[in-house]
Chains A and B, each alone.
Chain A
Amino acid sequence: MNQESIDAPTQQSVAETAVAKLKERFPDVVSDDPRQGYSGLIVQPNALVEVAQALRDDLGFDYLTSVTGVDLIDDGKLESVYHVTSIEQGGKPLVLKAQVERDNAILPSVYSVWPGAEFQEREAYDMFGIRYDNHPDLRRILTWDEFEGYPLRKDWQEPYFEDTHKPFGSRWPAGEVRRAEETNIYGRNVQYPKGWVPTGKEYEVETDTYQGVYVEADGVPGLKTDKITVNLGPQHPSTHGVFRMVVELDGETVVGLKPVMGYLHRNHEKIGERNTFLMNMPYTDRLDYISSMSNNHGYAIAVEELLDIKVAERAEWLRILVVELTRIINHLWALGFLLNDMGALQTPMLYYYVERELILDFFEELAGARMMCNYMRFGGVAYDLPDNVRGTETMKFLHDMIYDRLPRVMDQGDGLMTGNEIVRERGIGYGTLSREDAIAYSAAGPLLRASGVAYDIRRADPYSYYEHLDFDVAVRYNGDIFDRYMIRVDEMRQSLRILEQVLPFLEETAGAPIFDGKPQHALRPKQPAEAYGHVENPKGELGFYVTAQKRISSPTRYHVRAPSFINLTVLEKMSMGHKVADIVAILGSIDIVLGEVDR
């Protein structure tokens, strides 16, 4: 192929073409974002659904990646930002924005066009108070129903609020130390509206949750059946943390299911908007706490795009090395837990953990921590490879691990588990998700690919050096639990393929710099900017939407498009009609991590 034709700058990206077409078709209601450094289209709220419909049906943008709110307090407006992608064409997402007045924030819901908006619009309502018209179930999602205020609005302050930006004046340079509890009359992290008195009935907020799930039962002909509501979680051994499902059962059959989340909501985004850019890096570790390296990568890519930072070559190879190892860790963990949920209690996990510990030891030598690695920096990584891991020279250790131990454990697991009758009986035909539903509900990662959609960000919108690497996008076509099991087995093998290709580059670039440019503690953007960086995390597309103001060293808006959270949107659909015992396996096959669901 002619090299010049690839590099030709005249080629318009998919999103740019679509933007041009939209502007041509809706000249009155669609316009370019006028702000400097921002991109995307501003759509008039009353035409939002119409534009979305045209975008999906005529231009092929069938996949709603992310919905979030932004508080534009200086303009007195709230903004809803939509990132839309085309599964067929890939590329960067197209950005739509709709703005409304702050005190009367009502927008039409795009749920009818992209059902994947359901939880995300609920989240924007919860955090910003944007009301979405025609949303099927607009309730708070991360906080509880009676919660006071909309926490991500810029004028809403927490009980321990100290300053809008870090580092706080009291700590630096003054260097005072005092406990936050001393600043609050209650001695803890609470505040109440002025003059509010408890009535003792506060905990009845739960009734709303149960009403949401109530469905009229058809019953079996000739039999009178009663329905019961069963509550799974938040303390339940198979919900993978503090996740809760309210399930409506007819006999043992599921007729309604509502996920209840927010039991691990720890204000990632609010804290992120106060931190400097670099301070957020360790916080991203704690999103999907099983694959911290991948989270680092997503955030680093977003900020590098935002501030236009180049990455050193060796750092890119190191990043791919750790990210693919993380994918293996995550899938080993996910498979262990899935089999645990299916009835193979503990045993597969005990086998898989031995190799997981091997990789974690490497991470500990490399980054200093087993789980919360905090390894990447903007423009590079924090440390070069260590000399030794477990007493072996590092390159030899990696070589042995990638060529010998990991393939062996994968074959072993495959041999022991894949043909196992329990896995087949409980997996095949359960929790089926069709290709159309997977796309419509914005499912991502293994969940999407097990339903026959070969969509992988590493191929659709290549980042880092993935376009130079040779690997296949694993895809399976039945969309049931067994296929979601198999897709993880396939992906681990593909990761090994990538790792085998990375090793020679690591040897070649030994001694090269791992960081580009001068290390800085506080990055200050030279102009306002907006960026959406996304990576293929083990659990799906992890995206960071970050905006920056001139000379302010913390992001003005920092949003995480969390794959676990959005993958749960389709849980209800997958569980309907199955027995209550199967929900546990279906949930296990989605592979969620609550740190990311609730953030």
Chain B
Amino acid sequence: MTVPQSNNGEASPAVPEELQENVWITTIAKFLDPIYNWTRRNSLWPLGFGLACCAIEMICAASSRFDFARFGMEVFRATPRQADVMIISGTVTKKMVPTIVRLYNQMAEPRYVIAMGACASGGGPFKEGYSVVDGIDKFLPVDVYIPGCPPTPQALLNGMIAMQEKIDQQSIATVPWYRKDDPLTELVPIPLLGPDLVDLRQVELIKSEAAKANAETAVEEAILA
């Protein structure tokens, strides 16, 4: 047992000297954080949700040879309500992104997002295409990016372990989901499918662009008239 210490690292004067060997004074957060994080890091349940090629490697990582289960990650949940981490395993298309954002919103906090592979991280080889979202981080906050096309199961495992290390750093006192009005806990607005994908956070920009374009057309028409 370490010598009881106050927050600033000095021996606590409130404890009599003979008891200092047996008493440990700490803050609730310092005491709870390791337990809180230990429980969460060792039961990272992913959402059972495959998008594209990377999903195959994700399944391999969960199967006989690589065996996620060693790290407590094997319980793929079919419903977002029971999942802790969403592995974006493949190309995010415009048609799919409203569903993905909705699933993210349905996940209970704490929730994490891993962008697996080149497509999920930034569009990958399909970035130039018209129906591809160039990176899921345009819509969701991403915790871990895993490079590769597709990343090997080992790379995914490494990414998941990085996720665990990130969880270890968190403190119950500062995590956003126990704080009032933290912007990080707000639901992400679900994008709409119009002539192209509409991000509701950009509606004002779209409107101003449209107004500009209309004004230009009016000027052109006036000149022609």
Contact = CB atoms under 8 A, between A and B. Distances in A.
Interface string B86-119: 0000110101101100010000000000000000
Nearest to A260: B95
Contacts of A470: none
B193 A202 contact: yes
Nearest to B55: A241
B24 interface: no
B52 A595 contact: yes
Contacts of A188: 133-134, 138, 199
A191 B196 contact: yes
A158 interface: yes
Contacts of B50: 241-242
B199 A196 contact: no
A264 interface: yes
B144 interface: no
Nearest to B133: A189
B56 interface: yes
B128 interface: yes
B213 interface: yes
B49 to A, nearest CB: 5
Contacts of A234: 96, 99
B127 interface: yes
A181 B130 CA distance: 13
Most buried by B among A181, A187, A202: A202
Contacts of A350: 63-64
Interface in B116-153: 123, 125-134, 138, 149-150, 152
Contact of B206 (A142, A181, A197, A203): A197
B192 A371 contact: no
Interface in A124-147: 142-144, 146-147
A267 B210 contact: no
A383 interface: no
A267 B150 contact: no
Nearest to A186: B202
B194 A196 contact: yes
A158 B53 CA distance: 24
B78 interface: yes
B98 A270 contact: no
B84 interface: no
A407 interface: no
B180 interface: no
Contact of A143 (B95, B96, B128, B134): B95
Given A193-B195, A198-B194, A594 B129 contact: no
A266 B129 contact: yes
B131 A266 contact: yes
A188 B133 CA distance: 8
Contacts of B127: 160, 180, 189
A158 B210 contact: no
B149 A372 contact: yes
A83 interface: no
A335 to B, nearest CB: 14
15 contacts: A144-B95, A146-B193, A158-B129, A180-B127, A189-B129, A192-B194, A198-B192, A235-B103, A266-B91, A267-B128, A270-B129, A283-B125, A357-B60, A370-B57, A372-B150
Interface of B: 48-53, 55-57, 60, 63-65, 76, 78, 90-91, 93, 95-96, 98-99, 103, 123, 125-134, 138, 149-150, 152, 190, 192-199, 202-203, 205-207, 209-210, 213-214, 217
Given A262-B131, A271-B128, 9 more contacts: A144-B95, A180-B128, A241-B55, A265-B93, A266-B52, A267-B131, A267-B132, A271-B126, A353-B60
